[in-house]
Amino acid sequence: MSGGEYILQIFTNLQMDKDKVIYPELSYKIIGLLFGVWDEIGYSHKEKYIQNAVAKALR
């Protein structure tokens, strides 16, 4: 499973389990941030590069 598919699966699961998510607004923002990073850098990078991009986006 690619990173984009994984993120999409997480988002889909959150939509199905809305009542089970403790902080739905925060979860939505974090997933949006992850999609933004994914759109910006794409899928062809190593995990470490993606981790750095996510950390930078969280600042």
Other residues' Cβ atoms within 10 Å of the Cβ of residue 1: 7
pLDDT per residue of the chain (59 residues) written in tens, 0 to 9 = 566 677 677 767 766 666 677 887 888 888 889 889 988 888 788 888 888 999 999 98
Eight-class DSSP state of 52 = H
User: Domain limits of the chain?
Assistant: 3-58
Structure tokens at 58: 């969280």
**Amino acid 17: pLDDT:** 62
Name the 3-class secondary structure at 37.
helix
Distance of CA 43 to the CA centre of its chain: 13
